[in-house]
A and B are shown apart, each in its own frame.
Chain A
Amino acid sequence: MHEVDMTRCLLLSMNEWKQQHAPRVPRVDRVHLQVGTFTCVEPDQLVLTWADAVRGSWLEGAELVIEPVQLIGRCLRCQATYSPDPESGYRSPCCRHPMEEIVSGRELRIRSVAYSCPSPIPVG
């Protein structure tokens, strides 16, 4: 259910992006999404939800490519970075310090859109 809402957010952003190209409708081949592992999003589920959501729309056929971004924390005691393993907890393996700083892993970002437009492309 969560992925349905995330897909809705994604479609909202894509519709806003489409307006920049109006009156032409770009043909989107790929939407590249960065999804951190320390988020509430399950990438496989999001891809399935996307495929359903774009069927019959201007985005039909567009592939959703998800780039997972690993959770990296920084130990504030010795400044070393580490990748927590939820099975063994979130403390730094070096100093057993709690996870104060997150370097990466919280991303929910539309990185890029690959598309084509009827030429000629307007200048300016």
Chain B
Amino acid sequence: MHMPLEDNLGLNLLAANQHRAEHNRAHFDAWNLLCLNVMSSPGAGKTSLLERSLAALSSRWSMAVLEGDMTTQLDARRLEALGIPVVPITTGRACHLDAAMVSGGLKLLRQQLDPAELDVLWVENVGNLVCPAEFAVGEHRKVALLSVTEGDDKPLKYPVMFREADCVLITKVDLLPHLPVDVERIEDHIRQVNPRTAVFRLSASSGEGFEAWHGWLVDQLSAVRSTPTLVSA
């Protein structure tokens, strides 16, 4: 005989990923570095952003990149050309990085260097404006990119990504003179879903906006390093 029963779980569906992300975060805190999760749709300019920022900041900070891609290591090779340690993470069928994948990337990174010597660890996520927003990897800050060629409606169509972002970079602004796009309308749509996020306009081609963006990074590293760490890795 079987008796009908019901368990009230109230369990977060993503609890397992969250636990792994917290474990990664404990490592980042123990290493005293700033970890950034960089997300956008394919082609919004994540790798170009990293190329420009890594080149500009490498004399000041020690940095490394965990490079997520579904099938190739093309982006990883572009960044390796800058002389920065890069660990490619090929996700296969998965359209985003999760905390376990980043944990695996960290193990490979530790074979190359001591992460405690790093100032900034970049995680370049898989190009996708939907899924990466839901899967924490242990990052201190989420950075979302939106290129002006994608149109001003994307923050309303994909609001979770922009809600989750601590910083939104509007990229490829050098193309604005050639496009029927209102950048102020893009900013308004971003702020509707997330009034607290930082927003910068950038062009990786011309360098416009990078000074302000790098200033934000300086503030974040300073904030992370001034936060007491309670858990050691």
Contact = CB atoms under 8 A, between A and B. Distances in A.
Interface residues of B, number: 39
A115 B8 CA distance: 11
B130 A40 contact: yes
Contacts of A116: 2-5
B6 A113 contact: yes
B16 A13 contact: yes
A108 B13 contact: yes
Nearest to A3: B131
Interface in B9-56: 9-17
B160 A9 contact: no
Interface string B85-128: 00000000111101000000000000000000000000000000
Nearest to A29: B4
By secondary structure, the A interface counts as mixed
B131 A40 contact: yes
Contacts of B219: none
A6 to B, nearest CB: 7
Interface of B: 1-17, 93-96, 98, 130-131, 133-135, 156-157, 159-160, 163, 189, 191-196
7 contacts: A5-B96, A5-B98, A99-B193, A109-B13, A114-B6, A118-B2, A121-B5
